[in-house]
Structure 1
Amino acid sequence: MSLILVVEDEHNLRIALERILKDAGYEVVQGESGKEALRLCQKTPFDLVITDLAMPDMDGLELIQSLRRSHLDLPILAISGAFNGEFLRIAKALGAVGTLDKPFTKGDLLAVMNKSLGKRSNPQS
């Protein structure tokens, strides 16, 4: 079973993502900021990080850059509904293996996640 870190500053969305992922059979740990995510990644070997890009304190782009320095092989999925997709393009250039523009469907999320984890997609939308 894959262990996923969800980094999202919006509480309700973080809970919704956790529910979707747990229903799909994943183990989930939540983080509400980039700084918290870095601390969690130092302690726990995650299989995938899903991060929002627009967050206070440390944004998702900074998080991706930091994780690329310390966890070269850790797949990162960037999500954002801001900036007309420009930050998603930057996230990809910085090393995110996948991106999703908000709002997205459960099927979209699971398909991109499974691809990022090297699994065959089988979402149950």
Structure 2
Amino acid sequence: MSQILLAEDDNDMRRFLSRALQNAGYEVVSFDNGKSAYDRLREEPFTLLLTDIVMPEMDGIELARRATELDPDLKVMFITGFAAVALNPDSNTPKDAKVLSKPFHLRDLVNEVSKMLAA
């Protein structure tokens, strides 16, 4: 089973995303900030990092950079209202990272996650 690490600082959004992914059959571990998510990544491997960009303590871009240094095979998807930031070549985001712009339908999220994990 694919394990997804979710980092999203909005409590309601984090609950909705976790529930949708769990209902689709994924195991989800979630955190409300990048630092806590990174600490967990250092303890165990995950298949996919699903992260917001704008968060306290450590933003999603820094989290993704550090996470892929730990595990170069980790897949990364950003969920954000700031897609231009994630797509900026100067931001050093992981090369194969996917960006899903808010707002999105939960079905679209599950479909994109399925595609990434199947690749």
Fold shared, TM-score > 0.5 on shorter chain: yes
2:46 counterpart residue number: 46
Give the fraction of aligned pairs with identical amino acids, expressed as a percent. 37
Question: For 1:92-107, what aligned pairs fall within 5 Å after superposition?
Answer: 94-95=93-94, 96-107=96-107
Partner-residue secondary structure (3-state), 1:49? strand
1:79 counterpart residue number: 79
2:33 counterpart residue number: 33
Letter in 2 for 1:6: L
Of 80, 87, 90, which residue of structure 1 is paired with 2:88? 90
Relative contact order (C-alpha < 8 Å, sep 6+): which is higher?
2
Q: TM-score when scaled to structure 2?
A: 0.90
Deviations 1:8-55, CA, capped at 9 Å, x for gaps: 001110000011001101111011111111111111211111000011
- The aligned length equals 117
Deviations 1:71-119, CA, capped at 9 Å, x for gaps: 111001111013xx21231389521521100011122101211111126
Moved over 6 A (4+): none
8 Å Cα contact 1:79/1:88 also seen in 2: no
